[in-house]
Amino acid sequence: MRQDTLERLDHRSPLVVDTRELGRRPGSMRKVSREVPAPADMKIEVIGVPEGVPLELDLRLEAVMEGVLVSGVAEVPLAGECVRCLEPLERQLKVEFQELYIYPDSETEEDDAPRLVGDLFDLEPVLRDAVVLALPLAPVCREDCGGLCLECGVLLDENPGHSHDTADPRWAALQGLFDGSTAEADDNGASRADENQEK
């Protein structure tokens, strides 16, 4: 994130944290706990954190030579749908994250490293990355969820004996040869046999 965008940080934002109490003294430490509303776009296609729900954050801020090392744990509620049966599901997710925020006047080769703006830093990008990377790609309501019937969409858990009489598609071409033509073949064969006997 570039410095010119960071300069627009709003100290009233719940995910903007003030490090002034650390005083740039390496080794000084401060713990912060807060409840914040979830920002937008903390999700993937099938599951995510609903925007605005409360998130529990426990942060540890530690001053180091280059800046402020932030370690944290977030507990977030998830909402989505089971990829097998498509029923809605809810979960709690606990994620850990860590980021070093460089002092504004610190010289470093890491141009992409996030920097403090004065004494402030924005936790939102780091939190979003940590949560989205921890989301299950294929959430299920239960490990043994039966899912939906591929033919008609019936919930298999509610209909354990559900099945369809379907022919193996590998035999479909042969089935067309024999359906309705077997009797005709038998008649033709019998006629030829009778002709041969007469000769």
pTM surpassing 0.75? no
Q: Mean pLDDT per 10-residue run, the chain (199 residues)?
A: 54 90 90 94 94 96 94 96 91 96 80 85 95 95 81 68 69 63 51 54
Q: How far apart are CA 179 and CA 124, in angstroms?
A: 66
Q: Is the dihedral of CA 189, 194, 195, 199 positive or negative?
A: positive
pLDDT digits (tens, 9 = 90+) for 121-136: 999 999 999 999 999 9
Q: How far apart are CA 53 and CA 11, in angstroms?
A: 21
Q: How far apart are CA 76 and CA 78, in angstroms?
A: 6
Q: Report the percentage of the chain scoring pLDDT > 90.
A: 50
